Amino acid sequence: MNYDEIIRNVLNENRYKHTLGVVKVATELADRFGADKEKATIAAYLHDYAKPLNYNEALKVIEKYDIILDEETLENPELLHAPVGMAIAKYELGINDEEILEAIRYHTTGKENMSLLTKIIYLADLIEPSREFDGVEKIRKIAYKDLDLALKISFDNTIIYLIKKNMIIHSDTIKSRNYIIRNLTRGKK
């Protein structure tokens, strides 16, 4: 399946360029940390597949495939594209690999006990070359050395940003951060 062609027909030019950046970083991180590069490529290409859908279109996909979502995701249109994209990848594109589907599903919030591939897609989405925000260069450097430390810093930044904007913080992000901190702490003992 030609994933580049598939997403080129769905995404606008900026989102397409972003996705190519995610593919580049994801394959580099997969190579660096020993993850499956083919899975990283597929997940990276498809991570924002549902991004162009508006809220009502996304809800129709959720209803069509009986996707159960928590209130936090349903309240935040910015998060909705991840589980919807996972459903489209599974039911319409025939992706049955659970690791790829998890990486697509949790690339916006993270999750407790993330797989290596999920960590890679989460970070690749955040640090691909066109992303610009305070601290991104630091996270880029750390990501190629220590995925968990890069994730911890990323979660910290996201949580602080959401607090400043008076927005809801998804419980998966809190659980992800706590899980990473516990493992970083255990690794230092």
The rounded percent of the chain whose pLDDT value lies above 90 is: 93
Which residues contact residue 96 at a Cβ distance below 8 angstroms, ignoring those fewer than 6 apart? 90
Per-chain mean pLDDT for the chain = 95
pLDDT value for 188: 53
Q: Which CATH class is domain 3-133?
A: mainly alpha
* pLDDT confidence tier of residue 189, bands split at 50, 70 and 90: very low
- pLDDT tens digit string along 37-60? 999 999 999 999 999 999 999 999
Instruction: Give the pTM.
Output: 0.95
**The two three-digit tokens of residue 25, written as one number:** 């970083």
- pLDDT tens digit string along 84-102? 999 999 999 999 999 999 9
- pLDDT tens digit string along 122-155? 999 999 999 999 999 999 999 999 999 999 999 9
**Which string of b and e fits 28-46 if b means at least 16 CB within 10 Å?**
bbbeebebbeebbbbbbbb
Does position 166 have pLDDT exceeding 90, yes or no? yes
pLDDT value for 187: 63
Residue 181 C-alpha from the chain's centroid:
19
pLDDT value for 136: 96
CA dist 157 and 172 (Å) reads: 15
